[in-house]
Amino acid sequence: MRLILVALLALCGGSRALCQTPASLSASQTPAPYVVRDHYTKTEYHVKMRDGITLFTTVYAPKDTSRTYPFLVTRTCYSVAPYGPDAYRPAIGPSRSFEESGYIFVYQDVRGRFESEGEWQEMTPHIDHPTGTQHDESTDMYDTTEWLLKNIPHNNGRVGILGISYPGFYTSASIIDGHPAIKAASPQAPVTDLHDNDDAYHNGAFMLEANDFYGFFRPQKNPVLPAKPTPLPEVDADAYANDLATWEPLSKARALINNPYFDDQSNHPNRDAYWDARDISRHLHNIHAAVLTVGGWFDAEDLNGPHSTFESIARQSPETSNRLVIGPWFHGAWAAVNGERFGDIEFGSTTAEYFREKIQFPFFEHYLKDVPDPGLAVATVFETGSNQWKTYSAWPPAGSKPKMLYFAAGGKLMFTPPPPADGASAYDAYVSDPAHPVPEVSYPHSAGPPREYMIADQRFAAARPDVLVYETDPLTEDVTFAGPLRAKLHASTSGTDSDFVVKLIDVYPQDFSYPDMQPKPGDRPKDVLDSPVIMGGYEQLVRGEPMRGKFRHGFYKPEPFTPNQPELLDFSLVQVNHTFLKGHRIMVQVQSSWFPLVDLNPQTFVDISNAKPEDFKPATERIYHSAAEPSGIEFQALP
């Protein structure tokens, strides 16, 4: 999904009609098409780096040479296509406002990708103090900046850089010890630490669907033009049924796909030196450019990256102008749609347009052109549920404090801990069977996680016998969760390993409905477009994360469970900013599979990538909720 979205959007370079023509505009209000070649001249270059290799770089410069312009750079592993001096992108830059204002737009293939020389590395390890011809993404951006300043006329001496997803990583890496001319940077949905709730692993669980169809990062003998990625073989459009029927150990899947990217992910289930070297958050020091980090609450791929990036810059570069924006968006949606709704959920305003015009554009205009300071808050965060933009002087909000929601007998969810009378035998149990795993959505879908799973209705899961459900009474006042979210489970398994998936859910009142109950084309899967959305009793997923139990004591060294012995699992559900409105209920679901979003845990302590069919066994899972062994969710409550 990350590949498909970024390759298509390329910062909206190929499909920004959605950005420029919001649904709210009538035909008479629709802006006239902006023809790039009428206003910009495209030139292609091979820019030499300090070690002698050249990086393919495309420059779109304004035809109006009566004034000077800043550079706005995007560095990508997804290709700067189209290639050829007369082949123009239909749109350049992150939005039309940038095109009309005037920038020198620069796109560059990073090392080892397409028309650039060199060898590509997954999440290029950063070198803190490079010498001589040593190079990483920071030095490549430094050398590129030097070349641009000296060779591209009519520049004003200032440089900005931005990118979404993997290009977000290149943005973060490029500003460490950055060139003095780099004044503004926006890492957006930046891949930051693949083993820490970004694309590859979430709490030690392998995110199968996010990785199983990428043939994109095979070694290349450059220069070479882009080719389509090769997916794993599929026999039908139902990924759940297909993957379950053809399930093989990951080692066999690797042979089928012949994809080093997939191999790198699945060959390193434990946290190790491979992942440590590729964690860019450890190196975000000596950053002098102003930074605007952007993410989405419903980003199925890089949910944690923006938070980790923002927090790491705050710690390691405390003098940096450091801002965070999180909206109600899927991966990259802020660059592609108007953001008024996602799936079945409406947000009450065109949130992505607001970001593009009121935050992103003024940010770059100020730092690159001396337009007056827009006075952006340190954190501009959309509060789902209440559907409001909120601004804060810090994130998480200053003064917020941890608070618990506890599981209780009878499927209750309480703000008070279990009473001492609840003995150690107070638990709920279910049988998890790898042959019948819990799917992530209620409808069939093809390869790749359906992006709306992060906000989807969970009523189907609540009806399964292998899913525990805990729920509050209808709320008598609004309750806001703002900041880090953690699951704290006292659990046991009859196996020697198990996954535990915890989902936080907003249950709508039975009489709830939107004014317009009809689905809108493109918002829901085709097979359900014919029926109105029944929002009364809707169980909206707010946040859900898996935990691979063998890593409960740390991700570097897995440990088996002692069968039926309760242990504490304390793990991250990343972050939220959601208000459960008065009259709604808060629900938590607990299960031990989430397929094929997450690979199957055999529930025996083995190397999962080489597990044999006989290793996959049903297990009885217990979730305890006594005074001595409480379970629940810890959230940050506003003061």
Q: What is the pLDDT of residues 7-38, one digit of tens each?
A: 434 433 333 333 333 333 334 456 788 999 99
Q: What are phi and psi of 27, to 5 degrees?
A: -60, -35
HSE on the CB side for 96, CA within 13 Å?
Answer: 17
Are β-strands 182-188 and 155-164 bridged in parallel, bridged antiparallel, or unpaired? parallel
pLDDT digits (tens, 9 = 90+) for 565-577: 999 999 999 999 9
Peptide bond before residue 450 is cis, with ω within 30 degrees of 0: no
> What is d(CA 589, CA 259) in angstroms, rounded to the nearest whole number?
35
Cβ atoms < 10 Å from Cβ of 78: 26
Closest CA to 310 of 330, 329, 292, 335: 292
Q: What pLDDT was estimated at residue 242?
A: 80
Torsion of CA 384, 390, 392, 395, to 10 degrees: 10
- Residue 248 inside a domain? The answer is no
pLDDT digits (tens, 9 = 90+) for 317-367: 999 999 999 999 999 999 999 999 999 999 999 999 999 999 999 999 999
Q: Are 164 and 9 in contact (CB under 8 A)?
A: yes
Q: What is the mean pLDDT of residues 470-496?
A: 98
Q: Examine the domain organization and report whether 378 and 488 are in the same domain.
A: no
Helix (H) or strand (E) holding 19: helix 17-20
* Domain boundary pick from 362, 392, 422: 392
Highest mean pLDDT among 170-184, 216-230, 412-426: 170-184
The rounded percent of the chain whose pLDDT value lies above 70 is 88
Q: Examine the domain organization and report whether 379 and 432 are in the same domain.
A: no
Torsion of CA 542, 169, 382, 547, to 10 degrees: 20
Q: Where are the beta strands (DSSP E) in 549-583?
A: 567-580
Tokens read off for 584 = 């709604």
Find tokens 């070349």 and name the residue.
147
pLDDT band, residue 445 (cuts 50/70/90) = confident
316: burial class by Cβ within 10 Å (0-12, 13-18, 19+)?
Answer: middle
- CB within 8 A of 425, min separation 6: which ones? 626
Given a cut of 70, is residue 518 above it in pLDDT? no
Write the DSSP symbol of residue 236: S
**67: containing domain:** 2-193+278-392
Q: Examine the domain organization and report whether 351 and 447 are in the same domain.
A: no
Q: What pLDDT was estimated at residue 229?
A: 59
Q: Examine the domain organization and report whether 378 and 418 are in the same domain.
A: no
Q: Examine the domain organization and report whether 327 and 456 are in the same domain.
A: no
Given a cut of 90, is residue 257 above it in pLDDT? no
Given a cut of 70, is residue 528 above it in pLDDT? no
Q: Are 178 and 289 in contact (CB under 8 A)?
A: yes
Buried b (16+ CB within 10 A) or exposed e, 16-35: bebbbebeeeeeeeeeeeee
Q: What pLDDT was estimated at residue 449?
A: 78
Q: Examine the domain organization and report whether 388 and 417 are in the same domain.
A: no
Q: What is the 3-state secondary structure (H, E, C) of 265-327?
A: HHCCCCCCHHHHHCCHHHHCCCCCCEEEEEEECCCCCCCHHHHHHHHHHHHHCCCCCEEEEEE
Closest CA to 38 of 6, 21, 60, 16: 60
Write the DSSP symbol of residue 98: H
Given a cut of 50, is residue 182 above it in pLDDT? yes
- Residue 148 inside a domain? The answer is yes
Q: What is the mean pLDDT of residues 383-405?
A: 96
- Name residue 14's amino acid: G
Highest mean pLDDT among 71-75, 527-531, 533-537: 71-75
Q: What is the mean pLDDT of residues 367-390?
A: 98
Q: Which one has a higher pLDDT value, 609 or 477? A: 477
Q: Examine the domain organization and report whether 330 and 408 are in the same domain.
A: no
Tokens read off for 117 = 């020389």
**pTM, to two decimals:** 0.92
pLDDT band, residue 250 (cuts 50/70/90) = low
Question: Chain-centre distance of CA 47, in angstroms?
Answer: 31
Given a cut of 70, is residue 145 above it in pLDDT? yes
Q: Which of 23-32, 191-200, 202-211 has the lowest mean pLDDT?
A: 23-32
Helix (H) or strand (E) holding 5: helix 2-9
Per DSSP, the three-state class of 105 is strand
Write the DSSP symbol of residue 560: P
> What is d(CA 428, CA 266) in angstroms, rounded to the nearest whole number?
33
Helices (DSSP H) in 152-293: which residue ranges? 166-174, 239-245, 250-257, 260-266, 273-277
- Residue 496 inside a domain? The answer is yes
pLDDT band, residue 532 (cuts 50/70/90) = low
- Residue 251 inside a domain? The answer is no
- CB within 8 A of 181, min separation 6: which ones? 145, 149, 157, 158, 159
* Domain boundary pick from 359, 392, 425: 392
pLDDT band, residue 591 (cuts 50/70/90) = very high
Find tokens 């337009």 and name the residue.
371
Q: Examine the domain organization and report whether 311 and 417 are in the same domain.
A: no
Are β-strands 54-62 and 69-76 bridged in parallel, bridged antiparallel, or unpaired? unpaired
Q: What pLDDT was estimated at residue 420?
A: 83
Q: What pLDDT was estimated at residue 98?
A: 98
224: burial class by Cβ within 10 Å (0-12, 13-18, 19+)?
Answer: exposed
pLDDT band, residue 523 (cuts 50/70/90) = very low
Q: Examine the domain organization and report whether 376 and 428 are in the same domain.
A: no
pLDDT digits (tens, 9 = 90+) for 212-233: 655 567 677 788 888 765 555 5
CATH number of the domain that 52 lies in?
3.40.50.1820
Q: Examine the domain organization and report whether 335 and 368 are in the same domain.
A: yes
> What is d(CA 311, CA 226) in angstroms, rounded to the nearest whole number?
35
Buried b (16+ CB within 10 A) or exposed e, 438-470: bbbbeebbebbbbbbbbbbbbeebbeeebbbbb
Average pLDDT, the chain: 89
| End-to-end CA gap in the chain | 38
Q: What pLDDT was estimated at residue 4?
A: 38
Per DSSP, the three-state class of 548 is strand
pLDDT band, residue 392 (cuts 50/70/90) = very high
The residues with which 490 forms a beta bridge, in sequence order, are 568, 624
- Residue 71 inside a domain? The answer is yes
Q: What pLDDT was estimated at residue 434?
A: 95
- CB within 8 A of 374, min separation 6: which ones? 358, 359, 362, 363, 366
Given a cut of 60, is residue 622 above it in pLDDT? yes
CATH number of the domain that 535 lies in?
2.60.120.260
> What is d(CA 449, CA 454) in angstroms, rounded to the nearest whole number?
10
Tokens read off for 86 = 């007369």
> What is d(CA 324, CA 397) in angstroms, rounded to the nearest whole number?
12
Q: Which of 187-191, 264-268, 567-571 has the lowest mean pLDDT?
A: 264-268
Closest CA to 76 of 139, 194, 169: 169
* Domain boundary pick from 392, 424, 452: 392
Q: What pLDDT was estimated at residue 28?
A: 45
Q: Examine the domain organization and report whether 502 and 583 are in the same domain.
A: yes
Q: Examine the domain organization and report whether 311 and 440 are in the same domain.
A: no
- Residue 529 inside a domain? The answer is yes
Q: Are 351 and 22 in contact (CB under 8 A)?
A: no
- Residue 284 inside a domain? The answer is yes
- Residue 301 inside a domain? The answer is yes
Number of domains into which the chain is organized? 2
Q: What is the mean pLDDT of residues 121-139?
A: 95
Q: What is the mean pLDDT of residues 578-594?
A: 98
